[in-house]
Amino acid sequence: MAADARVLAVHRSSTHGFSKHAEEAITLLAGLGVQGDAHAGATVRHRSRVRRDPTQPNLRQLHLLQSELFDELVARDHAVFPGELGENVTTRGLDLLALPAGTRLRLGTQAVVELTGLRNPCSQIDRFQPGLMAAVLDRDAQGALVRKAGVMAVVLQGGDVAAGDAIGVELPPAPHRALEPV
């Protein structure tokens, strides 16, 4: 399933902006997220969520996005590249959206994260590039909305993560629960 899954790129930003800056490596901190990233913390850091209830646990410590989405977007005349959609980790060779909630990913040799849900794309995407919101949303065969803007995770075990690192996948015990927006 993920024998050739790899980290393609890593990103962070110390400010609350839309895109994140490419880094050679990032350091994940258990229970917090990416060291030096504006979204790191045990409680919510996304501004809209802080306004609602700043005491909520931060289920969005790490944003992962599969690079295959960029291939799809470029083919649809949306020139968008790793880091520009605000992800911390860009992956290759792993269908993140198909994984169940609670899946654990080993990033590199030390870091372990647990998937908490889907990123729910917001209007910032269209401000970044008009029409991009529609391009990161789709419908499945039953007509249900499919969000393709990545997945969110919490950091269970810290460590450094860099481009080229292998990604290991550990599925949770069955029955599996589909990822939902967090």
What is the biggest distance separating any 2 CA atoms in the chain, rounded to whole angstroms? 41
Residue 42 backbone class (left: φ over 0; alpha: ψ -120 to 50; beta: rest): alpha
Beta strands at 62-66 and 89-92: parallel, antiparallel or unpaired: parallel
Are 27 and 35 in contact, with CB atoms under 8 Å apart?
yes
pLDDT surpasses 80 at 83: yes
Smallest CA-to-CA distance from 27 within 66, 61, 67 is with 61
- pLDDT per position as a tens digit, 135-153: 999 999 999 999 999 999 9
Per-residue confidence (pLDDT) for residue 2, from 0 to 100: 60
pLDDT surpasses 70 at 14: yes
- pLDDT per position as a tens digit, 15-37: 998 999 999 999 999 999 999 99
pLDDT surpasses 90 at 46: no
Task: Give residue 48's pLDDT band: very low, low, confident or very high (50, 70, 90).
Answer: confident
> Per CATH, the architecture of 6-165 is what?
Beta Barrel (2.40)
pTM: 0.95
Between 104 and 47, residue with greater pLDDT:
104
Between 85 and 123, residue with greater pLDDT:
85
Tell me the CB-side half-sphere exposure of residue 146, using CA atoms within 13 A. 13
Percent of the chain with pLDDT over 90: 90
Per-residue confidence (pLDDT) for residue 57, from 0 to 100: 95
Percent of the chain with pLDDT over 70: 99
Per-residue confidence (pLDDT) for residue 124, from 0 to 100: 87
Span 39-61, average pLDDT: 90
